Structure formats: structure tokens, C-alpha cells
A and B are shown apart, each in its own frame.
Chain A
């Protein structure tokens, strides 16, 4: 694999990149417009976290091919742990760097018209369908510099489309493995569930660059059309060298629902956004998230529900444990627009700090522009109770093991509620690794 080190990226670079990937014209145009906008737009300003000095500018956006594999046994142990290798998922895609290394889709789903393919292939085979949703209703190109840069430099990702009335029972599973530490990942995931369809989707991000610095700028758009049900699970584990902007956003139309189960296990600085636009009447968006911070990493999490439809319902539940010198800010926002009568916005954010140097903050925010609604919030930030440690240790349990029990106990109320078994298991395993 060859990686050019020439930077920065200009118009010619973008045109060339787009041509190399045989992209449709609309994508090339979108990239070029985004490049222009990126110059003039400001960086995002996550509440209570300064990201000016984070590395969002030193990276190499080139497309890096990863070796394809013929069997899951060729994967390193770290990846095998995410998959049931003996009994592999029927619908699986492994993206290695920016190319597809492994891909299966059951005959049954193919016959039903389900599309599950990398974003470049999707643009060639289903250009109109991708264009219809790509950075339209969920995330806009011009929100800030990072969304614009994402659109300009997008170099990997996935498209999932479930046709009307198709129910996918077995989860669709995806692994984004950023093996090459020298290139950035500008990944775009677009999941569209058409009317009255349903699916469970699980994705993992993984890298191993402890020291090499790079950037992940990921935008995920999840569209649930009328009466569609999407269960979306993710466990992210970018290594300490990666600075991450992760934006997962959903749109729910009438009677639709999106359930998010998110494990944020990155080791580097992270800006994380999860927003559900509840556009349709009687639609719902539930977000459950856990995170463990360690080392000197700083993370900012904004989880938001935006209520536009009547009778829309949202629950945000996030628990974070901060170890060592880690910092995390949790912003939970419930915004109910005028006209979204009988909507309900609930939220709970809890942060546990394990050391004197760890820092955490939880900001509950309710913005309500309608009278006939219900809303509730709970937030807490605290340190480990020394009496709990004393009690556990008085039974012979070592300090490290006592901390482990308290962390698992603190995260358990969220982990246990995650609706997807594989996400629960992966998270439990990763929490274990991060806690020791």
C-alpha cells in the first residue's frame, strides 16, 4: 500500500480522489462545495470543552487499501473478540483502512432487495438512492468546519437500505478497522429503513495507534421512515493517537423509532454527538450510552433529542466512569419545538470519578417551547465512596478488584438495558480491558 504524504488537500486533490473512485458527478460537486465551505466555517464549539488545540488538522486523508481476507481466522485476536468466529454473522462487512476486506450478505436479504455495501460501490450501483439521503435530512455539510471537511474528504463508509415492509431479524454487523496509523478515517455510514421495515445494526470502530497521531471524522446518518424500527448498536475503540469527531444522527418519521446502544471506549480525545430528530408524530428515540475514560483523554458528549412531531418520546441514559486524569463533559439536551404537543423528553446522566485527577461534568438541558409536554432530568457527578471501598476491601477484595466491581456496578444499569446482546458482550469485555 502506498500513502502519499503530500498535503494539504486542494480542489485538484478532491477531483482526482473522486475520479479514482468513479464517483457520480453529484458527489464530486458536493465535495468541492464542501471544500470551499470548510475554509470559511468555524470549528464546532462543544459546550464546556475547548478543542482549539486538539489535532483536527494534522492528518493524511488519502485512500488506503487494506488487504482482503478470505477467512475470519486471519484476523488478529483483538478483532476476533468482536465477532463470533465459530459462528460468524450472516451479514458482515469488515472495512480494513478504507477498503472492504470481507463481506457477506445472506441470499435471503439479497432477494428481498436489502442493500448492504460500502459507500463507493453504493454510489455506483444506487447513485440516486444514496444522493437522496446523503447529508440531507440528518447532518448538513455546512454545520461547521468538521462536517464540511468530512463531506469534502469522505474516504470510507457504508450504505444500508432496507426496503418497505422488510424485517431483518439477524443483526447486520460492521467492523471499521483503521489498521494503517498514518491515514485519517473520514467515514460515512448511511442507514435507511424504508416504511414499516426493521433492522438491528451493530458497528465497531477500532484502531491501534497508541502514539501515531491521526484523525477520525465520522458522520453516521440513520433514517427511519414511517413506522420503521431501527436498533442501532455501536462500540467505538479508537486508540490514544486518534482524535475523534463522531457524529451519529437519526431522523424518525411518523411512528418510527430508533434505539441507540452506544459504547464509547475511545482512548483519545473525542467530540461525540448523538442527536435524534423526532420529526414524525408518535416517533421515538432512545439513547443509552456508556463510556470509560482513562489516561489524559478529554471527551465531550452531547446527546440530544429534538422533538418536532406530536407525541414524540425520547429517553437519554448515559453513564461514564473517569479514571486517572481523564475528563468528560456530558451534555444532555431535550428540545421540544412549538407544536410538538404531548411529547416527552427524559434524560439521566451520571459520572463517576475514580481518582483525584479525574474530572467530570453533567449538564442537563431542557429547552421547551410547548406547554402540553412532559420532561424530566437527573444528573449526578461524584467520586467513589471511600466507605464502599472499605466495605469491599474488608472482605479481602483488593483495591483494584474493588474498583472493578464498583465500575461494573455503576455501568450495569445501562449495560444491562442495551437491547443488543452482542453489544452488551463486547462492551463488558472492553470495559474489563479499560478498567485494568
Chain B
């Protein structure tokens, strides 16, 4: 069997007592690209945060497993070391810590003690990825995300993705706030990751990202659930017709869930 499998079953998630996810089912395998789409406020980002273990979200029901291991029992750092990666919508700024030091610490955290990456190899890999993503090399010496533009932050997330090489990546609105050139570069980075041992869950509000990255499966979220799944043709229909037809088909009046989901 190629790659890892992330299985989400009947996932219910609350924030401050307010239920946002109401039974999500999804399975992502190595080699597969999944897109989760949907209007604002339907629970997409909550799904991403719950998988990674965001401290504010509470799982009230259901399960998440990675190759059969219970992800919900793991701390955030353990989830990452097990092979998960979350490209964040709003990456934190960390003053005083250079991007390069942070990257090296992250790589070494996964490799484990006694197996640290050599400085030469690290610099070589980082430089290659920086070039590939058309990022100014000075960024490596800047403090992590501090003073970065929106586009620089997103490129930095993809830089981390390329260097950390996770088994399963979740990319939360990686395309928001990007101009078309940056969008192309970010897509190029994600496409370069495509192989049998890498699975990806792309969460997006806009169809345009999928012009550059072709998903194997497309899921539409409304009211905290996946309400429709299909192939790449589903994304194309959404682009042409919007979400209204799905709401009509399913008899949904208000697609949103909770507050600020």
C-alpha cells in the first residue's frame, strides 16, 4: 500500500459550547488530492484546525485516525511527527526566531535525536526550495513571519511543506489573499509534492486555485457536514454555477453553522 491514510469519521467539533462540525466523514490516502469547498462559515477551517489539534476546539464525537493510530490522543507536536501538516490560514509571527532556525528545528524534531540534518544538507535543501518558490533568500534570515506580507506568509507555509515532507497535508485557504502570480507559485509548490506517498486536503473558498491544482475528489461543506462529493467536474460546475443549485437540491436555506466558523 502506498502512503498513509487519514480517516475522519462522524467528527463533531465545538468551540465554546457551540457545535460547528456535525458529523464529518472523509478519507484521504497517499497519492490523493482532495478539495474541500464551500461558502464562508460552513466549518471548513474548523475541520483543518480540529485535525491538527488547535487548542480552542473540542472534539465531542467521532474519530480521526492516521494509519489506524488515534490522532485525537496525540499532542499537536506528536501529530506533526506522525506525518500531518497544516498550512495555516493565519500563520503566527514569532519575533526573534529566524525562519531558517525554525525550519531546522522543525526538520530535526521529525528526524529525531541523533539523526539531525547536517547544516550543509539543510542549507542546500532550503536554498533549492527558496529558488523553486521564487522567494528572496533573505527571508531565511528574517524573523518568522514578522512583517511578512500576506503572500510571503503563504509562500513560507509552502516552503515548510516542501522541506518537512509530511505524509498528509491540510492546506487551509492557502490561496486567500494571493495575487495571480503568487497563486501560480504556491500551486507549483503543491503540485511538486504530488506522489504516491503524499496525500493532500486543500480547503478553499475559491475555485480558481483548482485551475492550477487538479483534485482527485471534491467535497462541498455546508452546515458543518460534507453534503456533496464528486470528481474534478464538481469543482468546474461550482465555478460555472456557484453553490445555489446544491442548496436547492438539498433543501438548505442557510448553509452556515455556528458563529464565525
Within 8 A of A (CB), among B81-119: 81, 85-86, 88, 91-97, 101-102, 105-106, 109-110
Question: Is A397 located at the chain interface by the 8 A CB criterion?
Answer: yes
**Residue A394, interface by CB 8 Å:** yes
Cβ contacts under 8 Å, A401 to chain B: 105, 109
CB distance from A247 to the nearest CB of B (A): 30
A397 touching B77, Cβ below 8 Å = yes
Residues of chain B touching chain A, judged by Cβ–Cβ distance below 8 Å, are 52-55, 75-77, 79-81, 85-86, 88, 91-97, 101-102, 105-106, 109-110, 143, 160, 164
Q: Which residues of B contact A396 (CB under 8 A)?
A: 77, 80-81, 106, 109-110, 164
Taking CB atoms, residues of chain B closer than 8 Å to A413 are: 95-96
Residues of chain A with a CB closer than 8 A to B94's CB: 388, 391-392, 405-406, 409
In chain A, what residue has the closest Cβ to B87?
Answer: A394
Chain B CB count within 10 A is highest, among A387, A390, A395, A408, for: A395
B40 to chain A, nearest CB (A): 21
Instruction: Report B-chain residues with C-beta under 8 Å of the C-beta of A402.
Output: 77
Give the size of the chain A interface in residues (CB under 8 angstroms).
Answer: 24
Number of A-B pairs, beta carbon distance below 8 Å: 80
A399 CB → nearest B CB, Å = 7
| Contact yes or no, B105 A394, CB < 8 A | no
- Give min CB distance, A28 to chain B, whole Å: 51
- Digitize A380-421: 1 where CB-to-B-CB distance is under 8 Å, 0 elsewhere: 000001111011111111110110011011111100000000
Which residues of the other chain, A, contact B110 by a CB distance below 8 angstroms? 396
Closest 5 CB pairs of A and B: A409-B96, A412-B96, A396-B80, A395-B106, A396-B109
The A contact surface, by secondary structure, is: helix
Residues of chain A at the chain B interface (Cβ within 8 Å) = 385-388, 390-399, 401-402, 405-406, 408-413
CB nearest neighbor in A for B90: A387
Q: Report the minimal beta-carbon distance from A79 to chain B, rounded to whole angstroms.
A: 29
Contact B97 A395 (CB under 8 A): no
Given A401-B109, A405-B101, A405-B102, A394:B80 Cβ within 8 A: yes
The answer to whether B96 touches A394, judged by C-beta atoms less than 8 angstroms apart, is: no
Q: How far is the CA of A405 from the CA of B100 in the complex (A)?
A: 12
Is B88 a contact partner of A391 (Cβ separation < 8 A)?
yes
Chain A nearest CB: distance from B74 CB in Å?
11
